[in-house]
Amino acid sequence: MKLTLPKGKAIYCLIIAFFIFYAFNTTFQDYFYGSRQNGIILILIATAIGVAYCLITKGIKPHMNIEYFWYLMAIFSIYNNQDLVHDSQSRWLLPMAGIALIFILKREICWHNSFVIVFRFMVMMHAFFTIFFYIFKGLYLNYFINILPGDHAALLSWFNSGYMPGITTHYSTNGIYLGLGLILVMTDLIRIRSIKKGNHAKVVFEFIFVFVALLLTAKRAHILFAIMAMIMMYYVYNSNHKISRAINIIGIIIVAALFVAVLIPFVPTLQRVLGRFFENDTSDLHGRAYLWEYAFAQFKTSPWIGIGWGGFKHRYFNVIGSYSSNSDFVDAHNVYIQLLCEQGIVGLSLFIVAAFGTFFMTCKLLKELRTSKIPSSKQEQCLLTLSIGIQSFFLMYCMTGNCLYDCECFFVYIASCTLMYSLRYKIWRESNARKKSRVADVSSRIELRRGTPVLGA
């Protein structure tokens, strides 16, 4: 017997809003929640409430879909979990809370607008302060930096070197926020023809605003991955214009290059950004190559099931006597290699099926919507376009970052995957309703014919 509760659709909106707010404000956890631990506890409470509410109101419908590979991956990560052994549970609990978000939201669409609204607000806030503090350097150096005393030295070094951290504790984190944000505003730019003419200038301004802020971080990987993700978005969205889309992509690249060339004299930092793409500095690569070599060495000790979730950093600690050689390298800076090391061939395979299966399924669904094989609204098409962009960014960033373990990126990514899951569920439900309606209509016609008297009988 299913317990009847009030509809309470607001609970889904509040949960997604809190997850995105948390992801974009990890810098200020001590101020918002009292401590990092309190923030994690609140995330776990929100997750527990969401899961319990879904179990009570919707129950479990066991039909195998691609998202179930995320659940299998979460279950597999419990075995020999080194974060639990070494009492560093948060590095495991936050990704698991993200995976639980799939179960909470995948059968609802009411949360979509809340996700986009909070996401957009957070992106614009970080873009604003990145540009603001670049212009008013004194305010950053004399006031803001003192709010984060534990990160004062690193922030000062990055800021003076031209890597704008904005209001985060690391310019790489700022690059994540703005890279994801650029993908969000690109969604509006792609569909600009369907937007009221009076809002065209606003859409273009938002894109330029976030793009400039991202350039100021001087993060090569984030800039490159965001650009490649936007090209993928445009390519799939224009599935119904196969010839013109290639020409348009070339034109967009040329216009973007000209825009940056015009902007360089006014923003000298851009010269440093472009220079970083061509400089012969391989220090980052060499540092990460050592981590990857160590991860492969650990993988060989247990190739099928790995050394346990979180095992890389704990074994790395035993080698150098610290969890980080320079307060930065805690994880392997390559999700695929680290999963292979910690979860073995089995765990990595589950991740690949879940992540890439979701990506290809999203592309396929958007193509079907754009070519009118499935009836849909413009909003649904745009949400899937956004999902493709964020998934593309995440899958590329997995090659150089720790985005599976960092909630700043993973929460947004998992929400984008769930956009597709929930839209696919809605389409499936509507399709079933139409089939039932057609069957009922045919049955009623048969009954009418049977009940009609034959003339002349």
Question: Number of C-alpha atoms within 13 angstroms, CB side, residue 386?
Answer: 30
User: Does the CA dihedral 356-77-401-210 come out positive or negative?
Assistant: positive
Closest Cα to residue 351, out of 319, 317, 390, 309?
309
Amino acid making up residue 9 = K
Measured distance CA(233)–CA(389) in Å, rounded:
5
* Chain centroid, CA 43 distance in Å: 17
Measured distance CA(416)–CA(403) in Å, rounded:
14
Lowest pLDDT segment from 23-27, 111-115, 265-269, 404-408: 265-269
Burial status of residue 137 (CB atoms within 10 A of its CB: 0-12, 13-18, 19 or more): exposed
Residue 96 lies in a domain: no
Residue 303: give the domain boundaries. 119-425
Measured distance CA(447)–CA(359) in Å, rounded:
46
pLDDT at 286: 53
Measured distance CA(371)–CA(416) in Å, rounded:
22
Closest Cα to residue 225, out of 214, 236, 237, 239?
214
Measured distance CA(12)–CA(44) in Å, rounded:
15
Residue 10 lies in a domain: no
Mean pLDDT of the chain: 84
pLDDT at 329: 46
Residue 87 lies in a domain: no
pLDDT at 441: 66
Q: Determine the average pLDDT of the residues in 47-63.
A: 86
pLDDT at 118: 96
pLDDT at 326: 43
Residue 397 lies in a domain: yes
- Of the pLDDT bands very low, low, confident and very high (cuts 50, 70, 90), residue 64 is low
Concatenated DSSP letters of 150-215:
GGHHHHHHHHHTT---TTSS-HHHHHHHHHHHHHHHHHHHHTGGGS-GGGHHHHHHHHHHHHHHHH
Q: What is the C-alpha R_g of the chain?
A: 24
> How many C-beta neighbours within 10 Å does residue 194 have?
11
- Of the pLDDT bands very low, low, confident and very high (cuts 50, 70, 90), residue 457 is very low
Burial status of residue 81 (CB atoms within 10 A of its CB: 0-12, 13-18, 19 or more): middle
Is the pLDDT reported for residue 414 higher than 60?
Answer: yes
Share of the chain above pLDDT 90, in %: 50
Cα torsion for 208, 209, 211, 215, to the nearest 10°? 130
Is the pLDDT reported for residue 128 higher than 90?
Answer: yes
Q: What is the tally of structural domains in the chain?
A: 1
Lowest pLDDT segment from 28-37, 168-177, 390-399, 447-456: 447-456
- For the chain, the residue count is 457
pLDDT at 433: 72
Closest Cα to residue 109, out of 354, 430, 348, 341?
430
Measured distance CA(310)–CA(372) in Å, rounded:
45
pLDDT at 348: 96
Secondary structure tally for the chain: helices H, strands E:
19, 0
Better-predicted residue by pLDDT, 268 or 66: 66
- Of the pLDDT bands very low, low, confident and very high (cuts 50, 70, 90), residue 242 is low
- Of the pLDDT bands very low, low, confident and very high (cuts 50, 70, 90), residue 428 is confident
Is the pLDDT reported for residue 442 higher than 60?
Answer: yes
Specify the pTM.
0.88
Q: Determine the average pLDDT of the residues in 442-453.
A: 65
Measured distance CA(1)–CA(309) in Å, rounded:
38
pLDDT at 245: 57
Check: CB of residue 418 under 8 Å from CB of residue 101: yes
Residue 93 lies in a domain: no
Residue 281 lies in a domain: yes
Residue 286 lies in a domain: yes
- Of the pLDDT bands very low, low, confident and very high (cuts 50, 70, 90), residue 285 is low
- Of the pLDDT bands very low, low, confident and very high (cuts 50, 70, 90), residue 91 is confident
Residue 431 lies in a domain: no
Q: Determine the average pLDDT of the residues in 364-382.
A: 85
Q: Determine the average pLDDT of the residues in 201-212.
A: 91
Better-predicted residue by pLDDT, 324 or 241: 241
Measured distance CA(59)–CA(109) in Å, rounded:
17
